[in-house]
Structure 1
Amino acid sequence: MFLSREIENELLRLRETINKYYPEPVEIDYKKYDVPTGLFSLLEHNQGVLTLKFDLKHLKIVDISKNIINFTGYFRKEFGEDLILGFASLLAKEHISLIGVFGSCIQEVLKNHSKAFIADYFLNSWGVKFYNKAGETMKWYMSAFPLELDANGKPLLLFISIQDITHLMKGDDYWIRGVFEKEEKKVFVYHSSENRIVEQEILSEREKEVLKYIKQGLNTRQIADMLAISPNTVDNHRRNMLARTGTRDTTALVHLCKMMGIV
């Protein structure tokens, strides 16, 4: 697999970031996670979800589900020993920046976390563009949460699930959303077209209300009556939510927001 100089430089910068926040040597017992239960088992047996365990400290994929060929067109052995390099080589050129942005998001989390760090969803990202072996475009939704923390509460080992959401997305943007702190929830969002990280939810509280009623099957007039606002305002909220998430239509919007736990 071909690895461009741009990808190599981005991976080098990411490693420098990780080394800065994880200066001490750490050993992780991967074997104790070999027999997944509950959510892990459910996801790993779902052929529509690619799952992997990611050693954040060493930037290493230590385990991946067998359906990797369904997502990439490649057999596991074709990726070689370093799966990170293999996956990075599949990134679309315009989305190579994801590697550096991931490093920035990690910094954002680590500098703000408390020792009692617990994430509902440590990070999720959507609209990220990859190419499979046949050269076809894929847009992925990736969700990650920590399996193991170090003595200071920083995440060491992540469980990552990946779904193909090409059919839900339009445009060429991608997003990263982080949720952390159980007691005092904090959310930050990165949008590739704006190239900045902001500490706010992807949707406003009013938009969430509108989306809740859309999910229930109410039409524009019914939603307007429920919220005591005009139909035009409802439609404006709908358009804004579609634009803010990059989804094709309201069905895709609801689906994506359910995946993120927003509705």
Structure 2
Amino acid sequence: MLLSKEIETNLVRLQETINKYYPDPIEIDYEKHIVQTRYFSLFEQNKGDLTIIFDIKHCKIVNISKNITNFTGYNRKEFGENITLGFISLLAPDHISFINVFSTWIQKVLEDLNKHYRYEHFLNCWGIKFYNKAGETMKWHLSALPLELDAEGKPLLVFISIQDITHLMKGDDYWIRGVFGREEKKISVYHSNEDKTAEQEILSEREKEVLKYINQGLNTKQIADVLGISPNTVDNHRRNMLARTGTRDTTALIHLCKMTGIV
């Protein structure tokens, strides 16, 4: 697989970011984490997910599940010696900067957090565009769970689970959402179209209420009666939720919000 000039440029920037935030040599026991996550990885694969263990410091895919061909059309051998570069080369041209945006974003968010929030966090990205071997556009949802942190709470090794959500999404934007802390939580959301971070949940509490009743099968008038608001307000909430998440319709909205843990 050949790397475009733009990918090479973004990889250089990514390495600069990594060197800035991880200046010291780091040794990680890969085998320990591969063994510890084996059953969870099989569970995710049985759901149809692609799973990856990724070393952030060395920008390296340590382990990837065998169903990679189902997702990309390429078998393991076709990715060559450096599967990380092969994988990155599948990014759509307008989403190539995602790798650098994400790495810079997570480090900046962690820097701004009080230390006790850093040691437990969960990340979601959705709407990321890749091309498969047939040249078809795919939109993926990535959820990332840190397996090992450094002394400052920065992730060193992460377990990534990937789902194909092409059927749920519309438009060309992507989102990054981080939930930090155990009991008291901090949430940060990045939207590529706005190129800024909001330090709040992507949906308001009222919108979550509306979504809960939509999921229960209530129609617009019934939801309005339950919440004591007008049907127009219910419809406005519905439209705003679709726009904020990039989803195609209400069914897709519910699916994505459950998948990402928003509800």
Aligned to 2:93: 93
Aligned to 2:132: 132
Distance in 1 (CA, whole Å) between partners of 2:232 and 2:116 is: 46
Aligned to 1:67: 67
Checking the alignment, whether the CA contact within 8 Å between 1:43 and 1:49 is kept in structure 2 is yes
Aligned to 1:55: 55
Alignment of 1:135-214 (within 5 A): 135-214=135-214
Cα gap change, 1:106 to 1:211, in 2 (>3 Å): same
Distance in 2 (CA, whole Å) between partners of 1:11 and 1:4 is: 11
Checking the alignment, whether the CA contact within 8 Å between 2:110 and 2:118 is kept in structure 1 is no
- Structure 1 residue 50: deviation in Å? 0.2
Matched AA of 1:255 = H
Matched AA of 1:210 = V
- Structure 1 residue 151: deviation in Å? 2.6
Distance in 1 (CA, whole Å) between partners of 2:188 and 2:104 is: 12
Matched AA of 2:118 = F
Alpha-carbon displacement from aligned partner over 1:24-64 (angstroms, at most 9, x marks no partner): 11100011122235643411333x10000000111110000
Cα gap change, 1:38 to 1:221, in 2 (>3 Å): farther
Moved more, 146-155 or 132-141: 146-155
SS in 1 for 2:148: strand
- Structure 1 residue 8: deviation in Å? 0.9
Matched AA of 1:195 = D
Aligned to 2:43: 42
Q: Structure 2: 5+ residue runs without aligned partners?
A: none
Moved more, 76-85 or 201-210: 76-85
Distance in 1 (CA, whole Å) between partners of 2:83 and 2:112 is: 30
- Structure 1 residue 118: deviation in Å? 3.5
Aligned to 2:251: 251
Aligned to 1:222: 222
- Structure 1 residue 104: deviation in Å? 2.1
Checking the alignment, whether the CA contact within 8 Å between 2:173 and 2:191 is kept in structure 1 is yes
Checking the alignment, whether the CA contact within 8 Å between 2:220 and 2:231 is kept in structure 1 is yes
Determine if the alignment matches structure 1 residue 33 to structure 2 residue 33.
Answer: yes
Alpha-carbon displacement from aligned partner over 1:94-127 (angstroms, at most 9, x marks no partner): 1112122112212223313415634352x21111
Checking the alignment, whether the CA contact within 8 Å between 1:115 and 1:154 is kept in structure 2 is no
Aligned to 2:20: 20
Distance in 1 (CA, whole Å) between partners of 2:184 and 2:243 is: 28
Moved more, 109-118 or 74-83: 109-118
Determine if the alignment matches structure 1 residue 119 to structure 2 residue 120.
Answer: yes
Matched AA of 2:84 = I
SS in 1 for 2:89: helix
Alpha-carbon displacement from aligned partner over 1:113-163 (angstroms, at most 9, x marks no partner): 415634352x21111111000101100001101011123322111000000
Identical-pair percentage: 71
Checking the alignment, whether the CA contact within 8 Å between 1:127 and 1:175 is kept in structure 2 is yes
Aligned length: 261
Matched AA of 1:124 = N
SS in 2 for 1:90: coil
Matched AA of 1:171 = G
Checking the alignment, whether the CA contact within 8 Å between 2:119 and 2:149 is kept in structure 1 is no
Q: Structure 1: 5+ residue runs without aligned partners?
A: none
Q: CA RMSD in A?
A: 1.5
- Structure 1 residue 251: deviation in Å? 0.3
Moved more, 150-159 or 48-57: 150-159
Cα gap change, 1:256 to 1:98, in 2 (>3 Å): same
Distance in 2 (CA, whole Å) between partners of 1:88 and 1:51 is: 15
Matched AA of 1:57 = K
Aligned to 2:4: 4
Matched AA of 2:166 = T
TM-score relative to the length of structure 2 = 0.94
